[in-house]
Amino acid sequence: MPTVLIVDGFRFFFFSNEGFEPPHIHIEKGDGHAKWSLQESPELVYSEGFTPSQLRRLRELITEHGDLFERAWDEYFHRA
C-alpha cells in the first residue's frame, strides 16, 4: 500500500495490486475513506465517513497534487 502523500491528516495511497485499473487514489483519515479517479479532472468514485467540506478539501488537494499522484502511479506500475 504505497503512501504517496500525507497532508492535513489525509493519507493518499494506492493498493499495489491495482495496476490493471485506471489511475486513481485512495484517501483515508480517521474512519473516513474515499477513492478518486485521476482521469482529466478528479472524480469521486466512492466515499464513506467524510463530510461534504472534507470532500471539497479532498478535491482541492487532488487537483493541487494530481501530477504527483499520476507520476507515482506511473512509476509504481511502470507506465511511463
State how far the Cα of 26 lies from the Cα of 13, in Å rounded to an integer.
5
Question: Each residue of 20-66: pLDDT tens digit?
Answer: 899 999 999 999 999 999 987 899 999 999 999 999 999 999 999 99
pLDDT at 79: 63
Residues 6+ apart with CB under 8 A from 51: none
Q: pTM higher than 0.85 for the full model?
A: yes
pLDDT at 80 over 60: no
pLDDT at 29: 97
Q: Are 75 and 69 in contact (CB under 8 A)?
A: no
Radius of gyration of the chain (CA): 12
